[in-house]
Homo-oligomer: A and B are copies of this chain.
Amino acid sequence: MVDDSTGRIVADLRAWVAQAPPGARVPSSRALVARYGASPVTVQKALRALGALGLVESRPGVGTFVRAARAVRPPDYSWQTGALRAPHARIPTLATPMRAGAPDGVGLHAGYPARELLPERLVRAALVRAARRDAALVRADAAGLPELRAWFAHELAATAPAGVVPPAPRDVVVVPGSQSGLSSVFRALVGHGRPLLMESPGYWGAILAAAQSGAQVVPVPSGPDGPDPDDLARAFAETGARLLYAQPTYANPTGAQWSPARAREVLDVVRAHGAFLVEDDWAHDLGIDTAPQPLAAHDDAGHVVYLRSLTKSVSPSVRVAAVVARGPVRDRVLADRGAESMYVSGLLQAAALDVVTQPAWRTHLRGLRPQLRARRDLLVASLAEHAPDAHLDHVPRGGLNLWARLPDATDLDRLARDCAAAGMTIAPGTEWFPAEPAGPFVRLNYAGPDPDRFPDAARAIGAALAAQRDR
């Protein structure tokens, strides 16, 4: 996050302070000016920042000194064990895809596209413009910026067939990222102790959100064509569930895209059981070979609750997504959002709207396709050549990830360790299964790491797998 000259000096001095004894004298401003080739103002700002962080203290007329650490006895927190009780679900403090990779390594584990795939200039310009508008200083409406809600509604309405009443801006609730939308939808529409159907394998974030809500997850097997309608009907009938969570387009992790026929069948099952389909259209802007066709555009009876995110296509820092929900369900979701976080930063909403309504946004999305395609194809080819034991059931037609099946006897922990030793972070597939995994899988992100390193990465995975085979 540190990229200006003050920041660089702060980072450097922090490192120095960390190993200096308490009370040590920080070099004089003059010495620092000389060392960093920075202006006295910059050096003073850096020293003030260190002071604000509690790392140094200045004694006027004497100098600046490393702050003496206070005497520390290890506190005893054991009483908390009783107060906290066992949680109703074990939720990790940090899921694998959210971990930081090695600084110069290849991060195949993360869920975000590389910075060069983002519309950087559009985002920066939009943020600067938003910083100068009222949006920077006023509280936004609970349901979101009216114009942004209209944009989300229009995006979905644009693919609605004739005869289907398109969604209206009032059906849209802006949320600070689709994870927040998922959490609210699960809490508001399922709730503690109730059953929730979910594709398996399915999105790890949804598995965590379901656990947090206290819902009872009922896994429904899903493959490259989506869930089998008979399986699904059985799960609804057996459990009395009223909600299915799914990613019909470029599912994470499998990359599956439901055919129009399958989508109709699933929607029919959902309707027949008086249920909701939560359609998480996370990769709407990340198509490669196909164009996403949201199921929600085909439903005007309020069965599909639609989630659309801009985090992965605009910027991970512009935390803006939308829940489109029609009927009383929209009020239930809005009430949960109000209780959870009241409203979404108007600045981020204004910036998001600015980006997606620029003509350059469409140009950017068109240019993204060939880049994603080249990356995907290179990783597929590298694996085929160097890691033939990593089997791809199918090549995804969009999204960010490959989902590789490994040989049955694969020790995933050992694989992850061996890859880490070679500078590569991988995400064992375990976290994408609500229950036991159906086998050893690994999810590999082709959109994040440097493609020049794909062949090496594939070689390392291949070697690690070969070592397990030969054992």
Nearest residue in B to A98 (C-beta to C-beta)? B142
Q: Are B139 and A112 in contact (CB under 8 A)?
A: yes
Contacting B at CB under 8 A, from A385-413, are: none
Nearest residue in B to A194 (C-beta to C-beta)? B85
Query: Per a CB cutoff under 8 Å, which of B55, B136, B151, B302 touches A124?
Result: B136
Contact with B along A268-279 (1 / 0, CB 8 A): 000000111000
Shortest beta-carbon distance, A385 to chain B, in Å? 31
Whether A338 touches B208, Cβ cut-off 8 Å, given contacts A75-B326, A80-B329, A300-B75, is: yes
Contacting B at CB under 8 A, from A296-353, are: 300-302, 315-319, 326-329, 331-332, 334-336, 338-348, 350
* Complex: A300 Cα to B342 Cα, angstroms: 31
Q: Is A369 an interface residue (CB 8 A)?
A: no
Q: Tell me which residues across on chain B come within 8 A of A135, comparing CB atoms.
A: 1, 317
Q: Tell me which residues across on chain B come within 8 A of A3, comparing CB atoms.
A: 133-134
Contacting B at CB under 8 A, from A91-124, are: 91-95, 98, 100, 110, 112, 115, 118, 120, 123-124
Q: Are B340 and A150 in contact (CB under 8 A)?
A: no
Shortest beta-carbon distance, A12 to chain B, in Å? 14
Q: Tell me which residues across on chain B come within 8 A of A79, comparing CB atoms.
A: 274, 301-302
Contacting B at CB under 8 A, from A70-87, are: 70, 72-73, 75-77, 79-84, 87
Q: Is A179 an interface residue (CB 8 A)?
A: yes
Q: Are A83 and B242 in contact (CB under 8 A)?
A: yes
Q: Tell me which residues across on chain B come within 8 A of A384, comparing CB atoms.
A: none
Nearest residue in B to A118 (C-beta to C-beta)? B137
Q: Tell me which residues across on chain B come within 8 A of A132, comparing CB atoms.
A: 124, 128
Q: Is A88 an interface residue (CB 8 A)?
A: yes
Q: Are B133 and A131 in contact (CB under 8 A)?
A: no
Contact with B along A156-187 (1 / 0, CB 8 A): 01100010011000000000110110010001
Q: Is A153 an interface residue (CB 8 A)?
A: yes
Q: Is A15 an interface residue (CB 8 A)?
A: no
Whether A157 touches B123, Cβ cut-off 8 Å, given contacts A139-B316, A183-B341, A327-B75, is: no
Q: Is A261 an interface residue (CB 8 A)?
A: no
Known A120-B137, A124-B132; further 8 A-B contacts with Cβ < 8 A: A4-B133, A48-B357, A49-B147, A98-B343, A124-B136, A137-B316, A317-B347, A345-B345
